[in-house]
Structure 1
Amino acid sequence: MNFSSKRKTSNLVLLIASFVIVSLILWNTNSFFKKFKEEERHKMEIWATAQSELLQSSEDRDLGNLHVKIFQNNTSTPMILVNKDGSTKTNNIPEEEAQDTNYIKSRIARFGAENTPISIDYKGEHLATLYYGNSEVLNKLKYYPIALMLIIFLFGAVIFFFFKTNKASEQNKLWAGMAKETAHQIGTPLTSLLGWSELLKAEEINPEISQEIEKDITRLQTITERFSKIGSLPKLEKKDIVAETKCAYEYLKLRSSKLIHFTFDSKVTQLPVLLNSSLYNWTIENLVKNGIDAMKGKGSISIEIVPEGRYVNVLVSDTGHGIPKSDYQTIFNPGVTSKKRGWGLGLSLVKRIVEEYHKGRIKVLTSSKEGTVMQISLKVNP
């Protein structure tokens, strides 16, 4: 049995044990409620018996004292005694309310629904009817299972979110581990390429070939640096966001199809922001490549820098097929992609770079059949 199977088995056992415990608590609470209710009815029957004796033997002084004691002993259960002549007598009901005929009628109906009325008879003659409600303790106990279920629900929700967060954390560690391993694997042939490049220079081969090889090597070094920084806190430095964005723009423009029309516009000449150049350029690259894919390799890509108070917005626009409004948030989740080939990690990494590493925000500003505008917001660091 592997670790994953053991964890699933443990979770299942924990779930079953929790269900059994909750069921036992609810069953025990229900049993206690019923027993308490039966005891209250027993007390009411004793009171009704004493009342019956009192009504028939009003001259018996001792019996009257017994009735008074029993009557005074009940300080929690509200009750209404309806005599055969229609008159009423109340106990544990506020005096002002006891004087209200309509209130007494409504209470009689309510008490009759809560508990079966007790008929007070003596030697076959009906003397009165006792209506009684649930005591304050019984009413509180009645809502105890609901409160318990609410607590169990909240507890279950906490457990669910804990496992969900734990799973997401494990996935993040997995992606970070894969990225670092990729960077490590690229490092070996990259070192070899550097050696071959120097050898080509020494052999005085066409300089243009050496220059292009060096560009590709530099590119591979950049990719390696990007992947190596995933999962660790990157170093941020004060950089000019206009220059950094334009650098990424120029690189992508030179290496993209001539069918893509690029435009760049900035409302300021320079603006200092705390950035990690490598990761920021990767972010712009991902957004532009997503836009190119959405346009199927033909259309317009626009990058615009717009200051807004203490923040600066970087807008990346394309003329692709657009994103449904319902997918504005989910497109940033790992594994979500509209491409037939792809792992759905690009925008997930972009979100992590912008929001976790640079403490900024990224969102779909607008999207329609005419195109999409993605907005990155970063805090200006003067």
Structure 2
Amino acid sequence: MLIGEVARRSGVSTRMLRHYDALGLVRPTGRTVGGYREYSAEDVRRIFHVESLRSLGLSLKQIGRALEDPAFTPSALVGDLIRWTEDRLERERELLERLRAVDASAPTGWQDVLRIVELMQGLGSASAARRQQAVLARPEDGPVPAELLARAVLAESDPNVAGALRWALARSGGDGVAALAAGARSQDAGIRRRAVLALAGTPEAPGATAALVDALGDPDPTVRGHAALALGRRGVAAAVPVLVGMVVEGVHDVDAAEVLGTLSRDPGRGSRILTALADELAEPTADSATRIRLTQALVELPGTGARETLRPLARDDDPAVALVASAFLTVLDERCSGNPA
């Protein structure tokens, strides 16, 4: 089979076939009377073997060793190829993210492009101080892609830099909620915590509240707590069970009690919150510290229901609970008598 026909059947150009011949990788078995290369069926099979190995990323030198050296085992080489490919893909992924960030900023000139690249370089610094400076010193004369800031928030472990990034994200005027919502579903609890904190700072962004509601079912108590506090401040009743649980567990219980008090201004919700706290007080497994926290939470609730619940607690068998309830009941009675309305 002559070289032209081999090229047509194999899809390998005649130029590459000549190159294989020059390297000794695939040499045609014979020559015609006129001196043209003539390939046998075995030669063609070898061409396909070469092309198969090239598709895995092997160099022509590596392919030659693989085909000729029986001691050249594939395991180590394939492992190296996997690592090289992973490194290359990571570099290309980073480049793709940079290009998307630049594109999202809708640059009108190269100065805009350079500004975004400079910000990305600053955010990628190993120095927390430089990362924070990159956020706080950014110019106000051009938009910064919210998605870029959102990704930086999710990756940032330094609390000061994270705070600056959340501030910048809230002021960016863009919508980084999609990236934050994806972060809230991460396998990494730390990323989910950062995502929920950032979502809490974007109350006007579409989808932020829905993402926080989803986070109420998170297995991590810190994620649930951040979501519940943010939702409670937005008046979302779905946060009530988690907020009551925070009071019971003593995790940000003061903040949770204050938010429950705010939610209780709605009469319908107030009744349900009062019942939930009273039910927890009646739990036989509740220890003294838990019942004291629940008693303190009752004081935040408006109306007379909390006072009526506190009265029997002032005579509780637990002296510590009785003392706290009595003190708060006195405060509430004085507050009520001083303001009859």
TM-score of the superposition, structure 2-length normalised?
0.22
Tell me which of the two structures has the higher relative contact order, counting C-alpha pairs closer than 8 angstroms and 6 or more residues apart: 1
Give the structure with the higher percent helix.
2
TM-score of the superposition, structure 1-length normalised?
0.21
Structure whose alpha-carbon radius of gyration is higher: 1
Give the structure with the higher percent strand.
1
